[in-house]
Structure 1
Amino acid sequence: MDEEQVRLHPWADADFWLLERLNSPEMTEHLGGPEGEARLADRHRRYLGPASGCMYRVEAAGSGETVGSIGFWEREWRGEPVWETGWGVLPEFQGRGLATLAARALVETARAAGSHRYLHAFPSVDHHASNSVCRKAGFTLLGEAEFEYPKGHWITSNDWRVDLEDL
């Protein structure tokens, strides 16, 4: 597979349905569970609003079907501003390498943004599929980190990083 098999489209108002699908218990198992309607609506507004970074709807290039979402946003990590990324692929499209393709495309998008040197991903140590995506997409494992996400829910995550200045 190569990068031509997925396309990233900036998040649009019409993409709320995708956020609802990605908010299922199955899809949020490693994230503390589904969010309520009000929080989901707030998240959608943040995805649409002007921000540092961008969220995307992921489309399979061959079929044009929406398969998930991916994005990057700014955060402070260990005293410096970095990009953070996260993604979700709908259950019926999982296991086809689409998340890895989307992550590779996102690395190039974050690199082109030029604001920060590093892009990090922080999947739960127990989320084998997301850790595999990081490895296959060229991220380097730096170790484990404790995260509170969502508020009140602590998880042990792996800290994966891409140096955006490396070509």
Structure 2
Amino acid sequence: METRVRLEPWGPDDFRLLVRCNSAEMTAHLGGPESEEKLADRQRRYEALGAREPAAGRMFRVVLGAGAVGAIGFWEREWRGEPVYETGWAVLPEFQGRGLAATALAELVAHVRAHGSRGALHAFPGTDHPASNAVCRRAGFTCLGRVDFEYPPGNPHPSNDWRLSLTP
């Protein structure tokens, strides 16, 4: 089973992938599907992130063979008074359970280490999402404990705070 993935920069043609990632199944741990208006805004933000300097963050489509199987990215944020990066990912249901998210995260970490300027990368999967927590563990992140992370904004959700140092 092939698990080699490529990260390709997010572009205007990736809106269809964003729509596929917006299903009830894919957003069950994220507060549910977004409206068409919010998806269009998300697409604009993803494209704009790619136009900024590389250290500001990036969104990528996760590609296996000739097709996109998901999305992954990183962006700047302040967390507990520290400038860090946050990461998030989605792998389409028919490709889940094959290690693709962990492989894509390893590729992303290499990219962030090469282009980033912040000392740590955080992920905040819900405490009720064992697969995403396992991806963090497999990628070498350290779980700092449970937090009430707001996602979507204004909606606190019990999450784990996973941290990966980006410095040697």
Same fold flag (TM > 0.5): yes
Residue 55 (structure 1) aligns with: 59
Q: 1:110 aligns with which of 109, 112, 115?
A: 112
Residue 82 (structure 1) aligns with: 84
> Sequence identity, in percent?
62
By how many angstroms is 1:90 displaced? 0.2
- Tell me which amino acid in the other structure corresponds to 2:124: F
What CA distance in whole angstroms lies between the structure 2 residues aligned with 1:64 and 1:132? 27
What CA distance in whole angstroms lies between the structure 1 residues aligned with 2:154 and 2:85? 23
TM normalised by structure 2 equals 0.93
Structural mapping, 1:12-161, within 5 Å: 12-49=11-48, 50-51=51-52, 52-60=56-64, 63-161=65-163
Of residues 70-79 and 149-158 in structure 1, the stretch that sits farther from structure 2 once superposed is 149-158
Q: How big is each residue's C-alpha offset from its partner over 1:109-156, in whole Å with a ceiling of 9 and x where there is no partner? A: 111123101000000011000000001111111111111211332101
Of residues 118-127 and 146-155 in structure 1, the stretch that sits farther from structure 2 once superposed is 146-155
- Tell me which amino acid in the other structure corresponds to 1:115: S
What CA distance in whole angstroms lies between the structure 1 residues aligned with 2:129 and 2:20? 19
What is the DSSP-based 3-state SS (H/G/I as helix, E as strand, rest coil) of the residue aligned with 2:29? helix
- Tell me which amino acid in the other structure corresponds to 2:101: A
What is the DSSP-based 3-state SS (H/G/I as helix, E as strand, rest coil) of the residue aligned with 2:140? coil
> After TM superposition, where is structure 1 displaced by more than 6 Å over at least 4 residues in a row?
none
What CA distance in whole angstroms lies between the structure 2 residues aligned with 1:105 and 1:161? 16
What CA distance in whole angstroms lies between the structure 1 residues aligned with 2:105 and 2:144? 18
TM normalised by structure 1 equals 0.94
**Structure 1, gaps ≥5 residues long:** none
Query: How large is the Cα RMSD of the aligned pairs?
Result: 1.4
By how many angstroms is 1:94 displaced? 0.3
